[in-house]
Structure 1
Amino acid sequence: MNGEPDTMLAPVLRNLRAAVFDTDGVITDSARAHAAAWKTASDAYLAEHPPPAPGQRRPFDVRDDYRLHVDGRSRLDGAAAFLASRGLHPPPETVRTVAEAKERLFAARLRERGMDAYPGTVRLVRALRRAGVRCAAVSASRHARELLARAAVLDLFDVLVDGVEAARLGLPGKPRPDLFLEAARRLGAPAGRTAVVEDAVAGVEAGRDGGFALVVGVARDPGPDAGQRLLRHGADIVVRDLAELLV
């Protein structure tokens, strides 16, 4: 704890002016709850509307389908992407129905139990703040503010750009970088001096395409391919836990 404030940060994080953190799966342990809600809503729809090809008639997979199709995306984009993966292209109102069913399920889970923040993420954010690095939280979810507040970490972030703000400003979701760029703008830092921290393929693609100084991938999945997938899609480095970036 002695010395200059940045002595606890790994060298790759020094000289940054800002850092932007995804919320679900990076700050809070909420990705599993999102995935479970997606599975319940999606499987209910598939049971009533079986995909045309036998090979597509499989239920929502909480690991692969969540990561590939819905993680990091807006609810509507995620629902449309998943249904398309099963050969289904329903009208927008049907996509909205599936997305809203997922939303109700997740909101009920959040009200009942809340969510926890990852201790390693909290330690890293505090170290960044001590080093003078401003921090933002970003999420496509409209529940992000409540999620962070109930995890007792909302006050660690100088800025929050969530699904409510994205809708108000008309910002497209990931893999477009607009959410991250808006967060960096509010932090008063150029993308070239800002890090993005993400656990989703769509998120690391957004960080790469936004011209950010560093894209940190978080691969909490114990599977051997998770880290390599993030690296292939734009992460500069991958860690299992963000405490690995403290020295």
Structure 2
Amino acid sequence: MFFLVDWDDYDAALFDLDGVLTPTAEVHMRAWRDLFTDYLTLKGETARPYAEADYFDHIDGKPRYDGVRDFLASRDLTLPEGEPSDPASAETVCGLGNRKNDFFAAALAADGVEPYAGSVTLLDHLEQRGTKIAVVSSSRNAPAVLEAAGLADRFEVVVDGQVASDAGLPGKPAPDTYLEGARRLGVDPEHAVVLEDAVSGVAAGHAGGFGLVVGVDRGVGADKLADAGADVVVTDLAELAGER
């Protein structure tokens, strides 16, 4: 089955990374689960243990420290903000975020990552057409993941969490990182497509006025993606490689 896109209408495609190009969203999910299961147990907060829904409701698609902060708020917990240089052992928002990143980095090093076959199919299709492409990810691990997946040489423009931090750009669901990706590609957002698996990322694409926002349902649910502003929802990016 294909969702027919007239790619002649669009100059560029801007891809989220984790869960869209690579199955690393699952690795992130496990890292967040391990982090907060340990943390809540340590703090004696066992009445509401960490659940998979917490990832989608409070963390998915957001910059790392925002995810920590928003999850803690869901449990009426607060921590000092700290600094990005905090060690992973620090009892701060940044410390917990860095601890989560250690979990993720260890899993990536141990297991590697293969891109979704359907996503590679779409990348090949867009390359043949000459469509400009970029990665826009909240993760500071994006360059490492792209390299591990064998995709690094496909993207001249990568706007990741480090780029956003250096430029002072707010993370998703604000549209700023996607707009920065479009700016770096030299395209008008109205003539570009955003491809996202997270509610926060879909909301960012919608808020940025992009010509088409594609929700990729890897588990969050088609209804939630549509409600956040997805114009269409697919389960595999190969569905977008057809032609009108």
Q: TM-score, structure 1 length as denominator?
A: 0.89
1:32 equivalenced with 2:20 (yes/no): no
Q: Separation in 1 of the partners of 2:18 and 2:51?
A: 18
Runs of 4 or more off by more than 3 Å in structure 1? Answer: none
CA deviation string 1:61-108 (max 9, x = no partner): 23x111111111111100011111112122223222211110111011
Q: Is the 8 A contact 1:191 1:210 kept in 2?
A: yes
Q: Separation in 1 of the partners of 2:148 and 2:59?
A: 23
Q: Separation in 2 of the partners of 1:239 and 1:151?
A: 22
- Partner in structure 1 of residue 77 of structure 2: 88
* SS, match of residue 153 in structure 2: helix
Aligned-partner residue type, residue 240 of structure 2: L
- Partner in structure 2 of residue 117 of structure 1: 115
C-alpha deviation, 1:13, in angstroms: 3.6
Q: Separation in 2 of the partners of 1:200 and 1:50?
A: 30
Match of 1:61 among 32, 38, 51: 51
Q: Separation in 1 of the partners of 2:230 and 2:34?
A: 31
- Partner in structure 1 of residue 125 of structure 2: 127
Matches within 5 A, 1:181-200: 181-200=179-198
The answer to which of 178-187 and 124-133 deviates more is: 124-133
* SS, match of residue 69 in structure 2: helix
- Partner in structure 1 of residue 230 of structure 2: 235
* SS, match of residue 92 in structure 1: coil
Aligned-residue Cα RMSD (Å) equals 1.6
C-alpha deviation, 1:120, in angstroms: 0.5
Q: Separation in 2 of the partners of 1:23 and 1:84?
A: 26
- Partner in structure 2 of residue 3 of structure 1: none
C-alpha deviation, 1:172, in angstroms: 0.9
- Partner in structure 2 of residue 173 of structure 1: 171
- Partner in structure 2 of residue 11 of structure 1: 5
Match of 1:73 among 59, 62, 66: 62
Aligned residues: 232
Aligned-partner residue type, residue 191 of structure 1: P
Identity of aligned residues (%): 45
Q: Separation in 1 of the partners of 2:182 and 2:139?
A: 18
C-alpha deviation, 1:38, in angstroms: 0.5
Q: Separation in 1 of the partners of 2:154 and 2:48?
A: 41
Match of 2:214 among 213, 216, 229: 216
- Partner in structure 2 of residue 46 of structure 1: 40
Q: Separation in 1 of the partners of 2:216 and 2:162?
A: 25
Q: Separation in 1 of the partners of 2:59 and 2:167?
A: 21
The answer to which of 167-176 and 154-163 deviates more is: 154-163
Uncovered stretches (5+) of structure 1, i.e. residues with no partner: 1-7
* SS, match of residue 195 in structure 2: strand
